[in-house]
Structure 1
Amino acid sequence: MKQVTLNSWFKSGAPGVWLSGGAVSIAVIMTIGLLAVIAVRGLGHFWPADLLQATYVVPGQAAVRVIGEEVQREEVPRERLKSAGLPVPAEGPEFMTRELLKIGNRDVFGSDFSWMVGEWLTDVSTPAELITLERREWGNFYGSLVSVKEQGKVVAEGAAALPELQQRLARVNDLYAQLYRLEKGDIGAINHGLEGLRLQTRKLELEHKLSDAAQADIAAQRAELDARYKALESQLIGLHEAFNRDSVVMRASNGQEVEVSLGKVVHAYQPNAMSVLDKLGFYFKKLWEFLSDDPREANTEGGIFPAIFGTVMMTLIMAVIVTPFGVLAAVYLREYARQGVLTRTIRIAVNNLAGVPAIVYGVFGLGFFVYVLGGSLDRLFFPEALPAPTFGTPGLMWASLTLALLAVPVVIVATEEGLARIPRAVREGSLALGATKAETLWKVVLPMASPAIMTGMILAVARAAGEVAPLMLVGVVKLAPSLPVDGNYPYLHLDQKIMHLGFHIYDVGFQSPNVEAARPLVYATALLLVLVIALLNLSAVAIRNHLREKYKALDN
């Protein structure tokens, strides 16, 4: 009887349901667990960690005073420490503690991370007076505040030094914002105008139209730009002098006093003296800087806004390019092409294109889009800029086109499936009412197939936004000094190179000279890339669901 019940249970299909449900549950748990690990390791980087002060006593060596953040702690076998050349005593426990401390002060010690044996750290404390200086160069500086100087003269020391430091640092950061706007905005516009005049002169020379009147007009425009630049130059010099006026003297853990210009300092804070609310406020401030600022220190410090902007911009341009081509190809294959051997062969080729490795698309984009198409555009429309390329070099346009080529098979297949789901009676009814085939297709069939088109777009964005290999060849770089969108005509510069979150992860994780400092940024950037792709996909899903509800009645 038990055997009969078991057989009937298997025949009912319940085991398949349970296995499928279990597999889905495991996949969801693994995905959530992975995202949680990435989030904890990445977002935890922005929390202001307490500073430890201790004496490091290595057997047989002089004691050393250390200050730093505890980054990692692990238990390692005693024999492993011996094999590393450390003077570990012969007798003792089988395992010892090894701690990774971020000691900062790279300009003083040469390295800002150090592994230390936990049992050799003595007199461990967290004094409230220890200060963290987050610098624009050389990473963090850890130590105690000695004095604040103005043009080399001490203006505050002792208990009065910290309030004076915070006040002057706020002033310096305001000056930095003014300098950034002046250099990137006004002076950048002048340089753009001067370059435009140079290209205009060269173009007139090539066309043999550089008359005296044209030269006089160009000279007048150049003189106007030069006058504007001289006015801004005096303002720029004054800002630089005020920016570099103040400095601070810090004492490192080894007793050495180091003078640091406040122009190189971003934040100064005492993490051991901060309350939980103070740390929480500082945490969100750092998180916003990560999202909105430019990178610095070989991408291991600062923010990643250019990478976010480049990823979103490239994906949107890719979507604008891939949608009409994919939909038109699907409409032709489904509605107009004669269904035969040739059409089936084309469909097989489209399906095979979806499985081609991404790097192959990158090589094709570099060879055809950049060198052939871009080089031809330079010779036809930008001869005055040669031999410097305009579109004959990797850039935003070619990166977007390469991704569009990579994603177009997905859009074609999804659109064809959507067109195949529309009942033939709908088409015949429209034709019977007097509509032409083109009107039926444009006003009836395509709107009803729009949810399927959006599904193809979702799949295309999901695949293209995270690609890295082809982009390394056709337009993505380690550091782009300016965004492809600014106030200079034509405002959107498709020829410029861009940054990308995926390439940023690769560069920081595998090309960074400071591996330990880069590791948390790899997790934070990976989490952000997942969130950006999810946001783009959720936006497309919302549009698809709206269209699906709109045309549900017709579909039924």
Structure 2
Amino acid sequence: MAKKKRRNPFIPKGDPQSWFARGEPLLWFNASGVTLSLLLVGALLYLLTANGLAHFWPKPLYSLSVAATGTDGSENESEPTKRLYVERVRTEVSTHATGEQRSTLFRRGNRDRGDGEFVWVNDENVVSLSRPAELVRVLREAWGPAYGELQSLETPRGTVALSPDADQALYEALDRIDAVRSKMAALENGTIRKLNREAQRLYQRERAIGGDAPLAEELGKEQARLSAAFTGAQRDMLEMAQSIEPYWLTLRVDSGELWRLPLASVLAVQHPNSMSYVEKLESWALQLWAFLSTAPRESNTEGGVFPAIVGTVVMVLLMSVIVAPFGVLAAIYLHEYAKQDWKTRLIRIGVNNLAGVPSIVYGVFGLGFLVYVVGGELDKLFYSDALPSPTFGAPGLLWASITLALLTLPVVIVATEEGLARIPQSLRDGSLALGATRFETLWRIIVPIATPAMMTGVILAIARAAGEVAPLMLVGVVKLAPALPIDSHYPYLHLDQKFMHLGYHVFDVGFQSANIEAARPLVYATALLLVVLTIGLNLFAVLLRNHLREKYKAL
């Protein structure tokens, strides 16, 4: 009896080629590719979230005793142990001839004491590791965090002894100093900045009047008024600064010495080893809010990214306002009005090829033509009084937005043309047959139906522009901008001003920082914020596109 051949379970019954003929292998291959892509995106978001958001969580502090070793690695009997107040950063395993060795990177803080902020410790040299409740982390405006034990607080009324259970006086003093610091910031960013702007305009008017005596006398009075106002503002700043000078915080550091810190430079004091989970969550939320709402410090390795957020959002919105009408008009002309001959096909080929030009080339074009040529001519025509100091003849927000608009223009043109091509010709013929003009047909029928496709082009443009860095380095982005490009002072939106950008901030913190270990968590946090901001801008455009699609579905 012949043996029955076993059927392949992966091939359905019937025609053995039907499974392949239906294209199911390609379907499974595509599904696998999409799944792999989603997994990679999820892994990237997890990496950014875990490393970025964990930076703001109050990590425990340790009292670490390390056996001192000589140059040959043997134990130094004259100094058997060394005590350190540290925060654990990460652990690495290295392989040597003697076997595997585990080393842990600890952050010592107290950078301005000159002991080294970070230290590698071989786990074999650790004598003891504990988490004393009295250890505190002092967050400061400069020099990074300080670690130690609270000892005393010096105030104008006297010295107050501090302990983990009796530090109410410290928090009251910090609240008082925060209030003064807020008033100083409001005075500096409000009154003093306004006076500086008025003084700059007064200087330009003074250069323009020449020898006109009456106008010169009037300007002299105005200058005296500004000088008196500026002197008064400086006096108020000095008085507020002097009011918080008598406050000093004394810590006992790991060497046993007492260290006096000016409380005016202290932002917060944490007791991470004695905090409950709710208190840690509250501290995490406050530190995250400070990261989102304050300006960077310490060469961008400390502080927040608020100026970079504002600069990124304003630049992307301004770029969208510029690129949308030009891209849509170009697509409408090419598809609806231009004669479809070899010239039009050549233009389309050029537009498609522009999408592949490296972005740095657009940056060079923006610097060489927009800034130096166009901006220089604008200065000669409208800002000649300020020359030789450039106004628009220097990199700024306007030129950065136009450069990115040129960069993303092909994307908007191609997406809009595809939307116009999907509209049936019968709609155009029917509208013309009913007596509508060609422009009325375009404005009332074609453009509304193609609006979702136009929004798709804008979405793609936003997604690309938000992450571009190379061209912006040439046409307006800086490491640290002294003022925001949009504020409450006329003309409110300052197109000639340099600005900060989240993408460039990631590059600067990650690759230009001298203290890379301290800056590493901020790279993850800023990159996550850039991704979230890009998703938010795209989501807004997607919702608007879906609304327009539903609105014109019946047409």
Mapped pair 1:17 → 2:27: yes
State the 1:111 CA deviation.
Answer: 2.5
For residue 198 of structure 1, what is the aligned residue in structure 2? Answer: 203
Mapped pair 1:547 → 2:548: yes
- Taking the aligned partners of 2:472 and 2:406, their CA distance within structure 1 comes to 12
CA contact (8 A) 1:97 1:117 kept: yes
Equivalent of 2:59 in 43, 46, 49: 49
- Higher helix residue share: 1
CA contact (8 A) 1:486 1:492 kept: yes
Q: AA paired with 1:183?
A: E
- Taking the aligned partners of 1:177 and 1:136, their CA distance within structure 2 comes to 14
CA contact (8 A) 2:141 2:266 kept: yes
For residue 159 of structure 2, what is the aligned residue in structure 1? Answer: 154
Mapped pair 1:73 → 2:91: yes
Q: AA paired with 2:526?
A: T
For residue 49 of structure 2, what is the aligned residue in structure 1? Answer: 39
Q: AA paired with 2:290?
A: E
- Taking the aligned partners of 2:22 and 2:50, their CA distance within structure 1 comes to 44
- Taking the aligned partners of 2:203 and 2:350, their CA distance within structure 1 comes to 48
The CA RMSD over aligned residues, in Å, is 1.6
When the two structures are aligned, how many residues end up with a matched partner?
537
- Taking the aligned partners of 1:443 and 1:212, their CA distance within structure 2 comes to 61
- Taking the aligned partners of 1:161 and 1:229, their CA distance within structure 2 comes to 43
- Taking the aligned partners of 1:540 and 1:487, their CA distance within structure 2 comes to 27
Identify if the C-alpha distance between structure 1 residues 157 and 425 changes in structure 2 by more than 3 Å, giving closer, same or farther.
closer
Identify if the C-alpha distance between structure 1 residues 545 and 298 changes in structure 2 by more than 3 Å, giving closer, same or farther.
same
For residue 102 of structure 1, what is the aligned residue in structure 2? Answer: 107
Tell me whether 70-79 or 130-139 shows the greater mean CA deviation.
70-79
State the 1:159 CA deviation.
Answer: 6.7
For residue 313 of structure 2, what is the aligned residue in structure 1? Answer: 312
CA contact (8 A) 2:456 2:545 kept: yes
Q: AA paired with 2:358?
A: P
- Taking the aligned partners of 2:483 and 2:39, their CA distance within structure 1 comes to 40
State the 1:160 CA deviation.
Answer: 7.8
For residue 424 of structure 1, what is the aligned residue in structure 2? Answer: 425
- Map 1:453-468; keep pairs closer than 5 Å: 453-468=454-469
Equivalent of 1:28 in 28, 34, 38: 38
Equivalent of 2:193 in 188, 191, 194: 188
- Taking the aligned partners of 2:162 and 2:328, their CA distance within structure 1 comes to 70
Q: AA paired with 1:236?
A: M
For residue 171 of structure 1, what is the aligned residue in structure 2? Answer: 176
Unaligned runs of 5+ in 2: 1-6, 70-74
Tell me whether 104-113 or 475-484 shows the greater mean CA deviation.
104-113
For residue 64 of structure 1, what is the aligned residue in structure 2? Answer: 82
Q: AA paired with 1:44?
A: A
- Taking the aligned partners of 1:476 and 1:421, their CA distance within structure 2 comes to 40
Q: AA paired with 1:69?
A: E
State the 1:491 CA deviation.
Answer: 1.2
- Taking the aligned partners of 2:176 and 2:441, their CA distance within structure 1 comes to 66
State the 1:386 CA deviation.
Answer: 1.1
Residues 140-167 of structure 1 show CA distances to partners (whole Å, capped at 9, x for unaligned) of 0001112111369534355786222221
Identify if the C-alpha distance between structure 1 residues 161 and 258 changes in structure 2 by more than 3 Å, giving closer, same or farther.
farther
Q: AA paired with 1:244?
A: E
CA contact (8 A) 1:318 1:400 kept: yes
- Secondary structure of the residue aligned to 2:148 is strand
- Map 1:62-461; keep pairs closer than 5 Å: 62=79, 63-79=81-97, 94-150=99-155, 154-157=159-162, 162-205=167-210, 210-461=211-462
- Secondary structure of the residue aligned to 1:552 is coil
- Secondary structure of the residue aligned to 2:525 is helix
CA contact (8 A) 1:146 1:161 kept: no
Identify if the C-alpha distance between structure 1 residues 550 and 272 changes in structure 2 by more than 3 Å, giving closer, same or farther.
same
- Taking the aligned partners of 1:141 and 1:5, their CA distance within structure 2 comes to 75
Identify if the C-alpha distance between structure 1 residues 20 and 327 changes in structure 2 by more than 3 Å, giving closer, same or farther.
same
Tell me whether 140-149 or 420-429 shows the greater mean CA deviation.
420-429
Identity %: 50
Unaligned runs of 5+ in 1: 80-89
State the 1:200 CA deviation.
Answer: 1.4
- Taking the aligned partners of 2:226 and 2:435, their CA distance within structure 1 comes to 63
Tell me whether 149-158 or 112-121 shows the greater mean CA deviation.
149-158
- Secondary structure of the residue aligned to 2:273 is helix
For residue 522 of structure 1, what is the aligned residue in structure 2? Answer: 523
- Taking the aligned partners of 1:95 and 1:66, their CA distance within structure 2 comes to 25
Q: AA paired with 2:250?
A: V
- Secondary structure of the residue aligned to 2:467 is coil
- Secondary structure of the residue aligned to 2:50 is helix
State the 1:198 CA deviation.
Answer: 0.6
For residue 87 of structure 1, what is the aligned residue in structure 2? Answer: none
Identify if the C-alpha distance between structure 1 residues 281 and 432 changes in structure 2 by more than 3 Å, giving closer, same or farther.
same
Tell me whether 457-466 or 228-237 shows the greater mean CA deviation.
228-237
For residue 85 of structure 1, what is the aligned residue in structure 2? Answer: none
CA contact (8 A) 1:152 1:247 kept: no
For residue 480 of structure 2, what is the aligned residue in structure 1? Answer: 479
Segments ≥4 residues shifted beyond 4 Å: 1-5, 157-161
Residues 318-339 of structure 1 show CA distances to partners (whole Å, capped at 9, x for unaligned) of 0000011101111111111111
State the 1:228 CA deviation.
Answer: 2.1
For residue 4 of structure 2, what is the aligned residue in structure 1? Answer: none
- Secondary structure of the residue aligned to 2:224 is helix
- Taking the aligned partners of 2:52 and 2:121, their CA distance within structure 1 comes to 24
Identify if the C-alpha distance between structure 1 residues 427 and 137 changes in structure 2 by more than 3 Å, giving closer, same or farther.
same
State the 1:220 CA deviation.
Answer: 2.3
Q: AA paired with 2:199?
A: L
- Taking the aligned partners of 2:43 and 2:509, their CA distance within structure 1 comes to 23
